[in-house]
Structure 1
Amino acid sequence: MTRPESFIEYAPFVEQASSLRRNPMAYVLPTTREVTTIARRALAEARASVVYGRLTGFAGGLTIAELLDGLRAGMRPTLVLFADQFVASDEATVLVKSSLGDFFLSPIEQILSQRYSYDLAHWTNTGFEITEAPCEDERRLYSQSVAYLRSCASLDDGWQLRGQHPRRSLNFRIQGAKRKIRLFRSSAIDAYLDDPDHPKLREHLLLAERGELSVHEKLEAGC
């Protein structure tokens, strides 16, 4: 089994400063104690920038939004991409269907490959899978992401983000949307306790009902 922390010894990473490298590299790695330790060292030595999820954190690292700002400004650093941390609804926006179930992935790898000419190195437990840029085959990119997440799961307790993975699921998003709709309905009723026949209340309740009925369709449309 190829350990994810071995990226630091991987030839393309060691040779990242070589003028022979046509494209910058993004290493898609799992959140483990060993990988984060090495990533901090690579960051401190200015050998790579680290991109983390909004619900987690990494001192000195970048969120997806900050990364995109830098890329638009012309920066092209070598990246350590903790894609397993991209679970928030504004980060993981692409619904995919796989043997792991229906869940959401971030489009950042596709953006890096197609728009900013990054070669991608997805860690899997059989080695690093390289996708040279630009890759126009979105199916391949998302298949690589699924293989990466499957390999993350094979790390058992060593995968620190295991507990966050359910946030990617379609069911989690549906339940979250329904909770928000119920909160909206309860707030509307509370606001018109003294006037339950107010037309505005009826309007709000109708909106809540329509939202609840359409939540599945809206989420499925992202597939």
Structure 2
Amino acid sequence: MRILGIIPARGGSKGVPGKNIKLLGEFPLLAYTAKSALASKYLSKVILSTDCYDIANVAKEFGIEVPFMRPEHLATDTASSIEVVQHAISFFEKQGEFFDAVCLLQPTAPFRMNGFIDQAIQKFINDKSDALVSVLPVPHEFNPHWVFEPNEEGLLKIATGEAEIIKRRQELPKAFFRDGSVYITKTEVIKEGSFYGNQLSYLENNPDFYVNIDTLNDWEIALSKLPLIKSLL
């Protein structure tokens, strides 16, 4: 199976200006994802998709290919990730290069366990699913069976639609949220406009590695995790 690894990193960033090439400890933020991607045995090619030459140059320093510059209309706040990936697929197919699946690796989720990308790819292949996402458990107090939403009368109802709330924590079914570390999707599913398809598998991540950098507070959390991350790798 040929799998294209894509690291998306546009130039505009409001929450943390210039975050993709801002130093997080010893290295630019982008470098953490670059190193994990290049260590993968299963990614056939790893590229960067960006509209920013400064980001492109940093990526090249860490061994990442930058085969094209992303068009401006795909580098706005409203541009979707699926469009960015579709653009990359189209670029290669026009050159006669085809991939069975795409592995999206967001630099804003910089920390990954050694071998985690390959574990995800192997599970994706074994499960024969349309896609796979890395996940973490939802804390029980935020489990959808304990979450309420307002109805048309302005009163609360259980978000799952159940008539009665589950009383005991031990009876709650497992629930997960996407941690942003790894997304793997069949190319044909991406062409149809979805990252998930009809059959979505998952790989549970280590919560010690979790941070998703959108704000300066997230950046401080990432900095505080660096000593622990180094000890776990």
Provide the TM-score with structure 1 as the length reference: 0.31
Could you say which structure has the larger radius of gyration? Answer: 1
